[in-house]
Amino acid sequence: MWYYIIMPRNIPQLVFLLFHRYGHAATWELPGTGSGGLTIVGYAAVVTERLAEALRLFRENLRNAVDSASRWCNNKAKRKAYVTGDRVRVYFPRRVAGRSPEWQSLYKTEGVIVKKLNDATYVVTSKS
């Protein structure tokens, strides 16, 4: 029954069970309280408050870490937009067996943009 303390969402159930089993007047010397006695309901309330504060700090730090990583990754990103009729190189990811990938050109042909589908996808015609 005490494993409910680990999960914050189960604290109200723990308080309910303890309150109805021991009553509101039950006082114990609980570890880490430093008081002469604290009711189980009071201790559960303190634990709930501490867990809520820890969760708030965790979410704040996680949000800061995500923002920092996003800024670092997007620092060198440049927007490039093409219009119909632009000539572009066509990516052709075919590897030839027996050759080193460093010496192979993966942009084989040149093509012309026919239509823009979205910001990252275009319809391209090429000779091959």
20: Cα separation from own chain's centroid: 40
The count of C-alpha atoms lying within 13 angstroms of the C-alpha of 96, restricted to the half-sphere facing its C-beta, is: 9
| Segment 24-75, tens digit of pLDDT | 545 555 555 555 566 777 777 888 888 889 899 999 999 999 999 999 888 8
Give the global pTM. 0.40
Bigger pLDDT: 82 vs 35: 82
Q: Count how many domains the chain has.
A: 2
Separation of alpha carbons 30 and 41, rounded Å:
12
The reported pLDDT for the residue numbered 7 is: 47
Is residue 9 located within the same domain as residue 69? yes
The structure tokens 């914050």 sit at 8
Is residue 14 located within the same domain as residue 60? yes
Is residue 68 located within the same domain as residue 12? yes
Using pLDDT thresholds of 50, 70 and 90, give the confidence band for residue 116.
very high
Bigger pLDDT: 44 vs 110: 110
